[in-house]
Structure 1
Amino acid sequence: MPIQSKYSNEEFEALMQDIFVAIEKNKADRDLAVMALGNTLATIFTSQVKAADREVMVEQFCKVLKKSTTEAKA
């Protein structure tokens, strides 16, 4: 069963496009882009997620990331 998002495809695609534009504008290679995205994620998790919920949410995020990158290889 697909996961229903509270965000429209248009909202999601617009944000993703802005992120890609910023990476390209700064001519960030893979390592720099991953570092910047990782630090952004860490900031979001620490500033917007309650400490009591953070570990579980980070674990869930990591599982989804791993699954999506593993499936992309297949």
Structure 2
Amino acid sequence: MFPLCSEPSFVKTFINEIERRLFTIFHRELFCWTDEWYGMTMEDIRELENATKDELDEQRRSSQLRGLALKDS
């Protein structure tokens, strides 16, 4: 996978650990949300989606950069 790298096992282990943590956290959050979603109609789900979209749009307009970003360096 990394033919020019002297320690490919380190890089591969690092990437695998990050990926495992990311998906574990995502799965836990998703599983916990199912209690709120259970019994919702499609109309309720659409309302939740629209409210979430509005909230995210407002955060994008009013907030500084959050999360990960690539720098132009």
TM-score bin, normalised by smaller chain: 0.3 to 0.5
The structure in which a higher percent of residues are helix is 1
The TM-score with structure 1 as length reference comes to: 0.45
Higher CA-based Rg: 2
The TM-score with structure 2 as length reference comes to: 0.45
